[in-house]
């Protein structure tokens, strides 16, 4: 692979996004109750538009008794377990869903159960960085993907933020080894569940594609460098989500000390950690970060030299995943909602002070003179307004930089790699958002009809979504 091949792949994706096909089907619940047999026990689901749906299947036991530690497999059960409702989401700030440390659940959509078929499996990891989100959003419903592509779809809940990525072993004891990557180890446990059980749901455990948007893509990039994930997936699609480097062990240990001080936990008193209410742990996690000030404590994957022995994509692409086909890309206007969503004044910027504003927004991500950036954009794109320059520059510095690094490193190792850009514009609010962060989610799932979809469900959205969904399922099966 070389730069020309990568750019050719991007062009092919752009064509994919403009091809039309039929509208999405109307939702209606079926009457039958399919039962699937897992290694832990039987689960009973329901039917939605001909697709068998199983929600809230436990793949791990409650993490409450193992707070800040690696997960354990779910205990078996005797009776048929109802799988009709989503599992609880991981503890997080400002969640609209019920939360619990008993959060290791996954959901399955499949065209048929135990019919002897071996369908491609598509496992989706949700966004929200490493801090928030769940696999229960209506945008992640796998019904239309199943109907379009005859695949099995899985979404996953796992530990996040302080609960999933606290590196306590240096501050406390070896009891907490692996805790700095507990959220990633949750995902590996979920993929082991897929390996061991997905055949009962009509899936092929030897044909598993991971796909994820934003933080979900970053989780996939990290798994590509984790030895315990080797062999558990066979294709990777990262959508607006990269992870070139992880947090170092010393920085993570410094953050752990701030956290423990905020909780009042001294060495030797580690048993008290499990008795602190969730709300107080989340509050302590909002302490000032000692390295990324101003800002709250950062929690994400940790280079612990065991579960994650190297950075995901530094100094090169991980050799263990070199032959895994990878598709990665971004949207044209990532930061119009990532930054502009909370700063409406940025849609009326002037030239004065624009470079300083770009410097402020890209602080900690890239170190380049903002005035020089503005001058170059004005030279190359003389028709751009100050607002257009701001969002183009911050999209390039915040979102595209990591993706280009990963793509170039994959090309250097001759890994099968394709890149893309989503140009499909959102019609909402007069088109001010362009093709923003997250617009690829309803396109990929063929769920533009959902109220949360920023694509809207206008005449152009559904055909484009159907086309993308069909091609993603084809790529997963090929």
Contact by Cβ (8 Å): 76, 42: no
d(CA 246, CA 440): 25
**Extended strands (E) in 167-276:** 203-213, 235-239
d(CA 194, CA 187): 11
**Residue 214 falls in the annotated catalytic set:** yes
Chain center to CA of 35: 29
d(CA 329, CA 236): 12
Name the nearest CA neighbour of 135 among 219, 71, 61.
219
| Sheet arrangement for strand 35-37 | 35-37, 42-44, 81-82
Other CB atoms within 10 Å distance of the CB of residue 306:
15
**Active-site residue identified among 126, 158, 437, 449:** 437
Token pair belonging to 180: 């700095």
Other CB atoms within 10 Å distance of the CB of residue 405:
16
d(CA 126, CA 219): 9
Contact by Cβ (8 Å): 453, 433: no
Contact by Cβ (8 Å): 272, 265: yes
| Sheet arrangement for strand 152-156 | 46-48, 51-58, 105-110, 152-156, 119-125, 203-213, 235-239, 326-331, 417-422
**Residue 452 falls in the annotated catalytic set:** no
Give a three-class secondary structure readout of 41-52: CEEECEEECCEE
Chain center to CA of 58: 20
d(CA 25, CA 14): 25
**Residue 334 falls in the annotated catalytic set:** yes
Residues in the chain: 478
- How deeply is 352 buried, as exposed, middle or buried, from its count of CB atoms within 10 A (0-12, 13-18, 19+)? exposed
d(CA 115, CA 80): 20
**Residue whose structure tokens are 């402020």:** 360
d(CA 57, CA 418): 33
Dihedral Cα 4, 6, 10, 11, nearest 10 deg: 30
**Active-site residue identified among 136, 141, 166, 214:** 214
152 to each of 120, 121, 375, how far by Cα in Å? 6, 5, 49
**Active-site residue identified among 126, 158, 321, 334:** 334
> Which residues are identified as catalytic?
214, 334, 437
């Amino acid at each position: 692979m070389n730069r020309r091949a990568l750019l050719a792949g991007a062009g092919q994706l752009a064509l994919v996004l403009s091809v039309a096909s039929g509208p999405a089907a109307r939702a209606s619940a079926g009457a039958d109750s399919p039962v699937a047999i897992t290694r832990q026990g039987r689960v009973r689901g329901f039917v939605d538009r001909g697709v068998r749906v199983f929600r809230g299947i436990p793949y791990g036991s409650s993490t409450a008794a193992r707070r800040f530690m690696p997960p354990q497999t779910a205990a078996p059960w005797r009776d048929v377990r109802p799988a009709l409702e989503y599992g609880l989401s991981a503890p997080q700030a400002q969640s609209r869903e019920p939360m619990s440390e008993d959060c290791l659940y996954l959901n399955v959509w499949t065209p048929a159960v135990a019919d002897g078929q071996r369908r491609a499996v598509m496992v989706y990891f949700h966004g929200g960085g490493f801090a928030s989100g769940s696999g229960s959003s209506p945008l992640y419903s796998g019904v239309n993907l199943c109907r379009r592509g005859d695949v099995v779809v899985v979404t996953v809940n796992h530990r996040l933020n302080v609960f999933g990525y606290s590196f306590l072993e240096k501050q406390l004891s070896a009891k907490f080894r692996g805790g700095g990557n507990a959220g990633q180890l949750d995902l590996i446990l979920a993929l082991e569940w897929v390996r061991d059980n997905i055949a009962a749901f009509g899936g092929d455990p030897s044909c598993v594609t991971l796909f994820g948007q934003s933080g979900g893509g970053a989780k996939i990039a990290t798994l590509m460098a984790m030895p315990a994930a080797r062999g558990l997936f066979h294709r990777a699609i990262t959508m607006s989500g990269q992870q070139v480097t992880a947090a170092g062990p010393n920085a993570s240990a410094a953050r752990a000390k701030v956290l423990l001080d905020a909780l009042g936990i001294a060495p030797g008193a580690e048993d008290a950690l499990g008795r602190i209410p969730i709300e107080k742990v989340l509050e302590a996690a909002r302490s000032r970060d000692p390295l990324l000030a101003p800002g709250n404590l950062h929690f994400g994957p940790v280079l612990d030299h065991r579960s994650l022995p190297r950075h995901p994509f530094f100094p090169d692409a991980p050799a263990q995943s070199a032959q895994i086909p990878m598709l990665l890309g971004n949207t044209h206007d990532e930061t119009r909602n990532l930054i502009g969503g909370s700063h409406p004044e940025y849609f009326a910027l002037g030239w004065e002070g624009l470079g300083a504003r770009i410097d402020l927004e890209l602080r900690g991500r890239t170190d380049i003179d903002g005035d020089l950036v503005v001058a170059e954009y004005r030279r190359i794109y003389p028709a751009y307004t100050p607002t257009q320059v701001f969002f183009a520059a911050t999209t390039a510095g915040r979102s595209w930089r990591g993706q280009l690094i990963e793509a170039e490193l994959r090309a250097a190792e001759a890994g099968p790699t394709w890149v893309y850009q989503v140009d499909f514009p959102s019609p909402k609010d007069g088109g001010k958002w362009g093709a923003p962060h997250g617009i690829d989610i309803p396109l990929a799932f063929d769920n533009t009809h959902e109220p949360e979809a920023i694509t809207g469900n206008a005449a152009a959205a559904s055909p484009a979504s159907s086309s993308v969904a069909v091609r993603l399922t084809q790529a997963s099966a090929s």
